Amino acid sequence: MAENREVTIYDIARHLNISAATVSRGLNNNPAVSKNTRKKITEAAQKLGYQSNTFASSLRSKSTHTLGVLVPRLNSHFMSSVLAGMEKAANKHGYNLIIAQSLEEAENEKQNADTMFNKRVDGLLISLAYDTSNLNHLEPFFKRNIPVVFFDRVQSHTSSISVVINNYEAAYKITSHLIDQGCRRIMHIGGNVLRNVYKDRFEGYRQALKDHDLPFQEKWHLVTALSEEDGTAAANHILGFPASKRPDAVFCANDTSAVYCMMALKAAGFRIPEDIAFAGFNNDPISKVIEPNLTTVDYSGETMGNTAVTNLINHLKGISNLYSTNSITLRANLIIRASSLKKVAGSKK
Amino acid sequence: MAENREVTIYDIARHLNISAATVSRGLNNNPAVSKNTRKKITEAAQKLGYQSNTFASSLRSKSTHTLGVLVPRLNSHFMSSVLAGMEKAANKHGYNLIIAQSLEEAENEKQNADTMFNKRVDGLLISLAYDTSNLNHLEPFFKRNIPVVFFDRVQSHTSSISVVINNYEAAYKITSHLIDQGCRRIMHIGGNVLRNVYKDRFEGYRQALKDHDLPFQEKWHLVTALSEEDGTAAANHILGFPASKRPDAVFCANDTSAVYCMMALKAAGFRIPEDIAFAGFNNDPISKVIEPNLTTVDYSGETMGNTAVTNLINHLKGISNLYSTNSITLRANLIIRASSLKKVAGSKK
């Protein structure tokens, strides 16, 4: 058999010495064909390298059974958990995922969205880039009624749904916990407030301070990209304060910045949590390895990915209507560990 | 305009009051159409929600510009770095990635491979599941000359290429380093030796012992899934030895098992590296956070992903021939940190 020629049902028919119509029915698992013959047909198809024509059938059905996934960066612990959850749900329902990353740039996000649109994905799952300022690049999807599900970094839109955690509440709770532990000068290392996740975490933090009659100072709010380097730089920022004006706690919008800030302050002789307490966000693997272990917010990427895809597929199958819901809020739990337990640390002395 | 009806070039033509032929030429960026008109056509296409027919053109060209990526698990630090590297390279050349995970099961891997085959990916990138024992499930690809690139967990095949690091050499070097630091009873926490990565790491370790006239004992080789729990269990295994027969070093096939074994032994009062030295593999984020920092092998997932995709695309474009090369071996560097520096730790006392 020539290696590059397409194998057709006629080849299978010739191979088995039966009619092409029988082969076609057998491949479609039609009970009019005996079980034994169906088995022979399937085996011959596999042996000869027959490829069912998904494309042609996509053209007919107008459905590709493919979902587009657009994320800021693929290589983060959180995002890889999201993808794992999405893939499980998609696979279970016979859908495939096409992935692309914006590398945090709106321009890449636009290009990737165009590609997904032209690849005719049945739906789009998107978490917005750091600097995306509007949703014009998604208009083609909205216009054609191709469902869009925002997750994690979302922006409200009438023709879409958002899957999120309550970032405001989680930040409010974790800040209140720090206050409850006796902290009074609490700093926040946050991200770009253009993105809901960072805006909400900042506002939850600020409201907790306000509700406990604690002052907020602009210089206690650092806006960074929350990288390892940003965590180390934040430590230097803290070391720059006169000793009497230093924060006694830091709430960081992710674990990476918290851990690197902690490591730099520990190296400078600070005791954690006695001199300065710490809280992060995400429950990344590093939060369980840093000493003392980091208080954080458990944020299940896997559940978020699974929920986003399941809702999208249910909409595509007509089981539920995506547009009737504005957002789905998932549970996020405060995980209290030694980095913030000032009272316990104090009583041990 | 009806929301669900497909927008055609005739709609654009009517909208601009020009001929459909001009619209078609304009969309294909044909210089016979004035720049100004081309711009108007593109804008109208976007405004009306025109979708170029990638499918129909795929059927014509027999190319989907889509690559299949099959991995054991999406949610590991290493694999998310690989995907990030793959996406960058694919995006640059106008290719998309369809992803699926086997969850370490051969049966899932087979099903995913079938799906990718029927989705008509232009090429397949695969890292094998924990228990995959043969390549029969890839025969359809080999038969149809659809290029297959193995990466990380590979198996040699005449019609494919493998992208790997030299696991044997890295393990040999890291074990020799432990011996050089004065360790004589070196244990190995490894993975399933059916997979090249774990087999080669084990053999590199064993050869280093042999070349230094050190004994190897079967009970010093634990085969595990290298999870957090397996690391903790390995610590209990070590605690089960009589004090005089305990290993004085552990070389783990990944950082996760090393870090969790270290944490359990630290909790039991062991000093690292004085009582027991440690080395891992992967250079995961946790390796820089554990105290003392973990000696490990730097293993760039991003480079591996980028290399695998670039070679695959060059083959598809006819720039180079994949089948003329058997394997590509990437650089892996030993990163020596405090967890193995017994001599330094000893001299500090």
Q: Alpha-carbon distance B191 to B253, whole Å?
A: 7
Same domain for B277 and B266, yes or no, is yes
Q: What is the CATH number of the domain that holds A25?
A: 1.10.260.40
Contacts of B145 in chain A (CB under 8 A): 3-4
Q: Alpha-carbon distance A117 to B201, whole Å?
A: 44
Output the pLDDT for position A205: 98
Cis peptide bond N-terminal to B31, omega within 30: no
Cis peptide bond N-terminal to B247, omega within 30: no
Q: How far is A7 from chain B (nearest CA, A)?
A: 9
Angular region, B97: left φ>0, alpha ψ -120 to 50, beta rest: beta
Q: Alpha-carbon distance B27 to B38, whole Å?
A: 7
Output the pLDDT for position B33: 87
**A1 in a domain, yes or no?**
no
**B263 in a domain, yes or no?**
yes
Are A70 and A290 in contact, with CB atoms under 8 Å apart?
no
| pLDDT tens digits for range B329-341 | 998 999 999 999 9
Is there a contact between A98 and B97 if contact means CB atoms under 8 Å apart?
Answer: yes
Are B74 and B294 in contact, with CB atoms under 8 Å apart?
no
**B194 in a domain, yes or no?**
yes
The greatest distance separating any two alpha carbons of chain B, rounded to the nearest whole angstrom, comes to 92
Q: Could you tell me how many CB contacts below 8 A there are between chain A and chain B?
A: 151
Same domain for A222 and A117, yes or no, is no
Output the pLDDT for position B23: 86
Same domain for A100 and A143, yes or no, is yes
| Probe site for chain A from B60, B71, B87 (most A CB atoms < 10 A) | B87
Q: Which of B108, B323, B1, B306 is nearest to A92 (CA)?
A: B108
Q: Which of A141, A87, A184, A176 is nearest to B112 (CA)?
A: A87
Output the pLDDT for position B159: 83
Same domain for A186 and A276, yes or no, is yes
SS3 of A17-80: the string is CCCHHHHHHHHCCCCCCCHHHHHHHHHHHHHHCCCCCHHHHHHHHCCCCEEEEEECCCCCHHHH
Is there a contact between B285 and A256 if contact means CB atoms under 8 Å apart?
Answer: yes
Are A118 and A66 in contact, with CB atoms under 8 Å apart?
no
Q: How far is A207 from chain B (nearest CA, A)?
A: 32
Query: From B140, which residue of chain A is nearest by alpha-carbon distance?
Result: A49
Q: Alpha-carbon distance A259 to A292, whole Å?
A: 10
Q: What is the CATH number of the domain that holds B338?
A: 3.40.50.2300
Q: Alpha-carbon distance A47 to B143, whole Å?
A: 9
Straight-line distance from the first to the last Cα atom of chain A, in angstroms, rounded to the nearest whole number: 81
DSSP H or E run through A332: none
**A107 in a domain, yes or no?**
yes
Within 113-142 of A, beta carbons closer than 8 Å to B belong to 115, 117-120, 139-140
Same domain for A218 and A146, yes or no, is no
Is there a contact between B286 and A291 if contact means CB atoms under 8 Å apart?
Answer: no
**A3 in a domain, yes or no?**
no
Q: How far is B53 from chain A (nearest CA, A)?
A: 7
Same domain for B19 and B89, yes or no, is no
Same domain for B38 and B175, yes or no, is no
Kindly state whether A144 is in contact with chain B, defined as any CB-CB distance less than 8 angstroms.
yes
Output the pLDDT for position B53: 61
Q: β-strands B160-165, B123-126: how paired?
A: unpaired
Range of the domain at B121: 64-165+301-330
Output the pLDDT for position A3: 46
Q: β-strands B186-190, B221-223: how paired?
A: parallel
Q: Alpha-carbon distance B238 to A182, whole Å?
A: 42
Of B58, B77, B87, which has the smallest distance from its Cβ to A100's Cβ? Answer: B87
Same domain for A216 and A339, yes or no, is yes
Output the pLDDT for position B56: 56
Same domain for A136 and A231, yes or no, is no
Same domain for A244 and A294, yes or no, is yes
DSSP H or E run through B8: none
Low-confidence ranges of chain B (pLDDT < 50): 1-3, 349
Same domain for B223 and B343, yes or no, is yes
**A2 in a domain, yes or no?**
no
Within 300-329 of A, beta carbons closer than 8 Å to B belong to 301-302
Report ipTM (2 d.p.): 0.82
**B97 in a domain, yes or no?**
yes
DSSP single-letter state for residue B326:
S
Contacts of A108 in chain B (CB under 8 A): 91
Same domain for B263 and B196, yes or no, is yes
Output the pLDDT for position B6: 73
Q: pLDDT tens for chain A, 349 residues: list them.
A: 334 567 788 888 888 999 888 888 888 778 888 888 988 888 888 788 777 765 555 555 678 899 999 999 999 999 999 999 999 999 999 999 999 999 999 999 999 999 999 889 999 999 999 889 999 999 999 998 999 999 999 998 888 999 999 999 999 999 999 999 999 999 999 999 989 999 999 999 999 999 999 989 998 999 999 999 999 999 999 999 999 999 999 999 999 999 999 999 999 999 999 999 999 999 999 999 999 999 999 989 999 999 999 999 999 998 888 888 889 999 899 999 999 999 877 775 4
- DSSP letters along B103-132, please? TT-HHHHHHHHHHHHHTT-SEEEE---TT-
Q: What is the count of structural domains for chain A?
A: 3
Residue A66 has phi, psi (to 5 degrees) of -125, 135
CB neighbours of A37 closer than 8 A, spacing ≥ 6? A18, A22, A26
**A343 in a domain, yes or no?**
yes
Output the pLDDT for position A269: 97
